[in-house]
A and B are shown apart, each in its own frame.
Chain A
Amino acid sequence: MSMNNQGRPTGVGSIGTAASGSALLPDEPLLFEIGDNEHSGVDLPEVELAQDRLGGFARKSKLDLAGLTEPEAMRHYVRLSRLNHSIDSGMYPLGSCTMKHNPRLNEKMARLPGFADIHPLQPVSTVQGALELMNQLSHWLMTLTNTAAVALSPKAGAHGELLGMMAIKAAQAARGQAHRSVVLVPESAHGTNPATAAFLGYSVKPVPAKADGTVDVEAVKTALSPEVAAIMLTNPNTCGLFEPQVIEIAKAVHEAGAFFYCDGANFNAIMGIVRPGDLGIDAMHINLHKTFSTPHGGGGPGAGPVVLSEALAPFAPVPFVRRNGDALEMVEHAEGQALGRVTAFHGQMGMYVRALTYMLSHGADGLAQAAEDAVLNANYVKARLQHLFSVPFPEYPAMHEALFDDSFLKDSGVTTLDFAKALIDEGFHPMTMYFPLVVHGAMLIEPTESESKQTLDRFCEVMAELASDAKAGNRERFTAAPMKAPRRRLDETRAARQPILKWERPANLPQAAE
């Protein structure tokens, strides 16, 4: 069966037949190709609208939404799901993304009606348990980071970053320093860092890294001036290294009247081991989905609470929870210097439940152990592979992720991308490639604490075997990969040049199916 009539339905009778994979891994037609406008998987009564109150705004245009009955929907979505790799089905060593075990207890708790079935605007007296949960989560985050305040509401890490930088901007303005227009961002930063600074109207000044992959305190001192509002530093950084001079950097930044924003995306490497507040940070977002195991769900939702130092605490945005006698209250409107809001309602409650459940399951001791095991696993992979893959920054131990470069592929005719795709045929999700940008042909491996020694051994054996095959000149295995995935390599250029972003009903069905 061929599906190369792009945008068109498969032929009649093709549903459920085997394609590029095996008989148990069929191609799945689009919902609109199997559904029907009269099919429905939800039984609802027909009601008469004798007197509608729509004031003449009733729909006249067609909806044309395909429907599925319940068994059709089960098959469609179960079959589609099987075309995905996931952390529950295999190792996902995606550096800087942190794919760790997602405990099902978290899911069970998030679905309790007392959490899932409560409205953000019902009376505060009827949601005291929810406010208590937010209070406890805040306490854990502030204790683990040794900071004075936390803003829970941001919807994702980058959103938290935006809010943290807004707090810094407001604090500078309150000090009469609104003219400070520059933000320092190391070259190794996440792309969201310069994007956030630019979004707030700052000009971004890059800070070079030293040859060892860490930020040079002298370079920071040189870059600092009365125009600098803040530095945005990721620690542990995107090369998987802890910034050894972070305390000196913080001191220099503060002495220059600037604030220290820390990108906390990699907090999972140090939770319970190092408190960022002790390093001198003023604001740091914490990706709950990375560090505290809320599932990624194919790309989101995330949650990006921001912890704030004493200096920034007055600028914490609304909403926040405050104790008032025996009860908890929700401060929903900005008072004093508090910032307004960056999202409707109170943020990602569903993620708060999962994160607190994970924290309670681990306890302070378990979180520290998890961080240690994440670091242990990364260094174990590094130790087992460093004789085959070159390590660009060997001076310091890896933190939670091991960074290699692709110099071992030189003259082999195999690219880093080819190598990653060959890993798919061995049953592993590829590592992060070509990031961080400061390393040419970067390969960033993050095993996380969830992976057993046996899995890591198997992964390292496969990596070693692939490396020697590439060096031996067996190009075909790499350039043709993946061979055993639901799809072969996809034409991304075509997708961008001739964007097809939705299904269109073919003008003439019988012809299209030919």
Chain B
Amino acid sequence: MRYLPHSAHERAEMLGTIGASDIDALFSAVPKAALKNFSLDLPAHSPEFLVEAHMRSLAGRNHAAGDGPFFVGAGAYRHHIPATVDHLIQRSEWLTAYTPYQPEISQGTLQMLFEFQTQVAKITGMDVANASLYDGSTGTAEAVLMARRLTRKSKIVLSGGLHPHYRDVVKAYLKDDPDLVCLSPSPEGQGDILEQIDGDTAAIVIQTPDFYGHLRDLQGAADAAHAQGALLIVVVTEIVSLGLLEAPGALGADIVVAEGQSIGNALNFGGPYLGLMATRKQFIRQMPGRLCGETVDADGNRGFVLTLSTREQHIRREKATSNICTNSGLCALAFSIHMALLGEAGFIRLARLNHANAVRLADALAGVPGVEVLNKTFFNEMTIRVAQLAAALVERLARRGILAGVPASRLLPDDPEVENLIILAATELTSDSDIAALAAALTEELA
């Protein structure tokens, strides 16, 4: 077996050193009834070329995003990843390192995390960021819990424009909690979240661009929340938007949670993704997740360590701030490299390109008879209404090789008002010919 180093002779020699008669003697604590009392109906080991053939056959049964026109978004976005990013993250010293518990020999990972935290803080306009969380959805649930700890109040209001999966994760984390208010989705634009804020409110949660692509007024929400002593949690599922949109921190956000997948990380059918969290300086001791901080070594040289870990489960156990036990280190690395390659100039260009393509897409769709574009504002994603069941239409377009977007009913199956809605995204990878192909196909299908 190609990954196992011992020969039979070496195994025997080692058992001799241990003083064990055979390998089963080392499992003597296992009850006899349970030790090797089965035969597994699973295949035996396999050479590399056969494993590869099997996996390729499975992969071959999927329609990859690059195989044709592609407009699917709703919380995960297809962007180009520079070859340099994937090359660098596959270097052994990045890929096969563990959590930097021994900082003297983990300065690469630690300095990268310090740089990553700085990038995230700058993009969101906040004071501090952590070293990443699992993803945007679990990060949102953590932010809600953090707001409760900070305000010692319990009412949480989720905007109807929050991604339905994110809403469901918050509901699961706050199971059966009557103080969680989930507003109905509002495909037409701004909802009435501000009316829900009262003196018992710990936080309101607003996504922008929202689930339907509309841009939301954060400054007004922050002012209304702060007037009642509540916090504003801002959720961003498309981090590229912040190349063009005002930073939430500049508009009064208290906690910003984002999905960082768009920068450096592939679609991967939904994971692994990258949760970003940033907040105000005075809140850092209630922020969950790992933090990397700067310090000096015994020679006075600058160095980096994981810090403020007294909040974490391995020290505080049942009193821990959260039960998070890791971060998305490699995804954070990919994000940080891609962001460093973009730089300020590239990040802004990327965002402008996304918006310009989305404007072209919106205009093309508005010209298709039977299609209504609902958005007055958007970044790179929008919602259309068609006079048919959206899910069936998307399925028919998929058979024509066009992945046309997400039927809203896929995420909100119990809401009959959304069954004619499709959410579509354009990115820098969306070409004019992709848009023309979609418009032509839609015209035919809706005729």
Contacts and interface: CB of A to CB of B under 8 A. Distances in A.
B432 to A, nearest CB: 13
B41 interface: yes
A432 B17 CA distance: 24
Contact of B269 (A127, A357, A435): A127
A28 interface: yes
B387 interface: no
A64 B244 CA distance: 14
Interface in A356-388: 356-357, 359-366, 369-370, 372-373, 375-377, 379-380, 382-384
A424 B104 contact: yes
A86 B96 contact: yes
Interface stretch (B113-121, B151-159, B191-199, B439-447): B113-121
15 contacts: A38-B344, A39-B345, A57-B246, A59-B247, A81-B91, A86-B93, A89-B93, A123-B403, A130-B62, A158-B325, A301-B329, A347-B270, A357-B51, A379-B20, A502-B129
A84 B89 CA distance: 13
The secondary structure that dominates the A interface is loop
A278 B34 contact: yes
Interface residues of B, number: 211
Contacts of A429: 98, 102, 105
A119 B76 contact: yes
A351 B272 contact: yes
Contacts of B362: 53
B410 to A, nearest CB: 6
Nearest to A432: B101
A326 to B, nearest CB: 13
Nearest to B359: A53
A40 B82 CA distance: 12
A99 B95 CA distance: 12
A211 interface: no
Contact of A41 (B15, B54, B346): B346
Interface stretch (B179-187, B223-231, B315-323): B315-323
Contacts of A103: 3
A501 B328 CA distance: 18
Contact of A121 (B74, B137, B166, B244): B74
Interface string A5-19: 111000000000001
Interface string A218-262: 000000000000000000000001111011000000000000000
Interface in B241-284: 242-247, 249-250, 259, 266-273, 284
Given A247-B34, A297-B333, A487-B103, A114 B61 contact: yes
B163 interface: yes
A397 B313 CA distance: 29
A290 to B, nearest CB: 11
Contact of B26 (A32, A122, A375): A375
Contacts of B215: 54-55, 57
Interface string A488-513: 11111011100111110000000000
A366 B43 contact: no
A327 to B, nearest CB: 11
B200 to A, nearest CB: 20
A343 B96 contact: no
- How many of chain A's residues touch chain B, expressed as a range? 35 or more
Given A113-B66, A247-B34, A383-B17, A156 B325 contact: yes
B171 interface: yes
Of B61, B331, B398, chain A has the most CB atoms within 10 Å of the CB of B61
B124 to A, nearest CB: 10
Q: Tell which of A36, A61, A99, A339 has the most Cβ of chain B within 10 Å.
A: A61
Contacts of A464: none
Interface in B384-427: 394-395, 398, 403, 406, 410-411, 413-414
Nearest to B246: A59
Contacts of B84: 41, 70, 73-74
A57 B351 CA distance: 14
Interface string B355-383: 11011001000000000000111110000
Contact of B5 (A60, A247, A452): A452
Contact of A37 (B64, B345, B413): B345
A314 interface: no
Interface string A124-158: 01111110110010001001101000000001111
Interface string A154-180: 011111011000100100000000000
B41, B114, B297, B376: most-surrounded residue (chain A CB, <10 A): B297
Interface stretch (A42-50, A404-412, A465-473): A42-50
A49 B355 CA distance: 8
Interface string B291-334: 11111111111111101101011111111101111111111010
Contacts of A278: 33-34, 37-38
A274 interface: yes
Q: Which of A121, A162, A430, A503 has the most CB of B within 10 A?
A: A121
A329 interface: no
Contacts of A68: 340-341, 343
Residue in B42, B290, B378 whose Cβ sees the most chain A Cβ within 10 Å: B42
Given A47-B353, A123-B398, A241-B29, A113 B3 contact: no
Contact of B111 (A64, A80, A144, A480): A80
A169 B172 CA distance: 12
Which 4 pairs across A and B sit closest by C-beta, in order of nearness?
Answer: A67-B343, A297-B330, A114-B59, A345-B270
A42 B117 contact: no
B174 to A, nearest CB: 11
A362 B3 contact: yes
B69 interface: no
A275 interface: yes
Nearest to B412: A333
B430 interface: no
A192 interface: yes
